[in-house]
Amino acid sequence: MSGLEESTLEKKQKQVSQLLNDITSYSDISILDIVLYLGYKEEQHSSFNKCAQGIRFPKFLNSKISAVLEKLEQGAKNPDLIREFIESMTKEENKSYKKPPKSYLVWIPFDLNLPVADYNGINPPLSFIQMGEQKGIVTFRNTSKYNADGEIYIDHIGMATDIEPGTRIALRRINKMDWQPDRYYLIVDASGQPSIWELLAGDDEKTVRCVSTNPLESRHKVLQLDRIEAIFSIVDGNCIPKPKRNSVSAAASQQ
């Protein structure tokens, strides 16, 4: 194979991986659905999944990559082609097909009027995902007894907190104006970055002061409310400590 042919093949491989990601951004289409739509068997699900994650491109696709790419492009432009194919697979006359179980992940749109949806893509929890014009985050499906939209592990935040590492916390969307002081919230800012803060009133109604969840720090920042994409309350209150900012500040002032 010449250098030009290798370059063309590599480009097509990247396009296939990207299209797999694009199509699974739809909450009701999984990698397995795409595998079957392309005419491959369920046993090749793992290979396609690794391809979507960029881990390894399945060699068996190389000889038919142009045809695969063309069919994926059609599916990306018109995802109903995949939905209709899967629907035909689930009809009574085709008992060999078993619809995959619900994903353990969900996509929570920031719009409070939109429902939480299954997420079948490959992005990990707390990924910022935009579906069409709607923005949201990926979390684990809620398994707690609380009325929550989803769950995450505190470790996914990637910031110092006084919440015990390994804690799984339940989250619920709230109106940005309905937060209360003396408790923690998950904030998603305009960059799509999630973080946990204690909230205090800002200088005016258009701002909010975010105080570090690490009791040893006095670090805080002021955010414009219109720069906050979403606020989630932490509803699993039994495992979440109260903010220690006030007690730490009081102790420091007595020294």
Residue 240 has pLDDT above 70, yes or no: no
Helices (H), 38-177: 45-52, 65-77, 80-89
Total-model pTM: 0.61
Higher local confidence (pLDDT), 189 or 122: 189
Residues 6+ apart with CB under 8 A from 103: 30, 118, 119, 120, 141
Indicate the range of 55-64, 95-104, 230-239 predicted with least confidence: 95-104
- Percentage of residues in the chain with pLDDT exceeding 90? 18
pLDDT at 247: 44
For the domain spanning 106-254, the CATH number is: 2.10.109
Domain ranges of the chain: 3-89, 106-254
How many Å apart are CA 241 and CA 243, to the nearest integer? 6
